[in-house]
């Protein structure tokens, strides 16, 4: 299948940017996006995503700050019918202070994810050769607990939108609630055994361990660096990387108070009105 033309990539990115900046919650993308603009391959999805970056930054999202890696567990891959992980860009406007109250009406179908965030201490560059586990572990700086708020901005049920379109839309990323770094961070070797729990209104809705994320959360960092290397890009020092939800996503109801807790890393909370 030939790649989308540069003109089609730009038109698709412009269409997505207009939707994301014109309405809250956004309309159902797949029911309205012109068929000729939809990506059919993951590479085309990433090309549209890259073209979308500057448009969103110029229209109120602010500069890009890091990356999310999604579909890193078998459960989320099955839910979204993704063949493997995917990556999305994060922007300054997506950062939410812990303890904030958000309007649930800002989202079309919001999901809560309990994640380990890695902030790189040095650049990872896989443009000429793949990054190894040892290199990624050595580049790991801070580790923090975080809530990712994803938003399923598509018509139909989960899994009805193909992976390339999910990628073009930054893999559903909407907000990041980033916790503080712990006083004594675990080592990378300890990450697979850490238990992560999501609670809604004090009730546990899901739990898992770091090993559920590609066997080891550092593997999500490796996957990201190597996939970006194939696209001619790098992961920069200081960029936060959301490594993927540990338990299955919790789908939000208005009025929920959400807290996530991760062993050795701490907890973070956010509430929703509406």
Cα distances (Å, whole numbers) of residue 208 to 79, 127, 145, 192, 262: 16, 33, 14, 10, 10
Residue 52 domain flag: no
In this prediction, residue 163 has a pLDDT band, given cuts at 50, 70 and 90, of very high
Per the structure, the count of domains in the chain is: 1
Domain that residue 199 falls in: 62-273
In this prediction, residue 31 has a pLDDT band, given cuts at 50, 70 and 90, of low
Residue 25 domain flag: no
Query: Is 112's pLDDT higher than 70?
Result: yes
pLDDT of residue 35: 83
pLDDT of residue 158: 83
Residue 127 domain flag: yes
Between 20-24, 95-99, 259-263, the lowest mean confidence (pLDDT) is in 20-24
Residue 49 domain flag: no
Residue 38 domain flag: no
pTM score: 0.95
Query: Is 79's pLDDT higher than 70?
Result: yes
pLDDT of residue 30: 64
Percent of the chain with pLDDT over 70: 99
Average pLDDT, the chain: 94
Residue 195 domain flag: yes
pLDDT digit string, tens, across residues 94-107 = 999 999 999 999 99
Which CATH number belongs to the domain containing residue 250 in this structure? 3.90.850.10
Residue 55 domain flag: no
Residue 225 domain flag: yes
pLDDT digit string, tens, across residues 217-240 = 999 999 999 999 999 999 999 999
């Amino acid at each position: 299948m030939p790649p989308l033309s540069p003109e089609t990539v730009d038109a698709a990115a412009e269409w997505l940017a207009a939707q994301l900046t014109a309405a809250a919650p956004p309309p159902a993308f797949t029911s309205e996006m012109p068929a000729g603009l939809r990506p059919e391959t993951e590479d085309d999805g990433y090309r549209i995503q890259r073209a979308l970056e500057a448009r969103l930054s110029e229209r109120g999202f602010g500069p890009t700050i890091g990356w999310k890696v999604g579909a890193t567990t078998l459960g989320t891959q099955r839910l979204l019918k993704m063949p493997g992980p995917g990556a999305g860009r994060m922007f300054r406007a997506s950062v939410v202070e812990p303890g904030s109250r958000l309007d649930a009406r800002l989202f079309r179908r919001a999901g809560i994810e309990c994640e380990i965030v890695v902030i790189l201490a040095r650049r990872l560059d896989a443009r000429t050769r793949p990054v190894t586990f040892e290199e990624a572990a050595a580049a790991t700086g801070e580790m923090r607990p975080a809530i990712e708020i994803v938003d399923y901005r598509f018509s139909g049920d989960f899994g009805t939108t193909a992976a390339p379109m999910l990628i073009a839309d930054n893999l559903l990323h909407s907000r990041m609630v980033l916790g503080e770094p712990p006083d004594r961070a675990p080592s990378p070797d300890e990450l697979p055994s850490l238990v992560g729990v999501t609670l809604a209104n004090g009730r546990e809705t899901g739990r898992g361990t770091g090993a559920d994320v590609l066997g080891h959360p550092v593997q999500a960092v490796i996957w990201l660096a190597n996939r970006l290397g194939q696209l001619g890009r790098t992961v920069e020092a200081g960029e936060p990387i959301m490594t993927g939800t540990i338990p299955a996503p919790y789908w939000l109801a208005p009025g929920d108070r959400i807290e996530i807790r991760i062993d050795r890393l701490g907890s973070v909370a956010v509430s929703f009105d509406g």
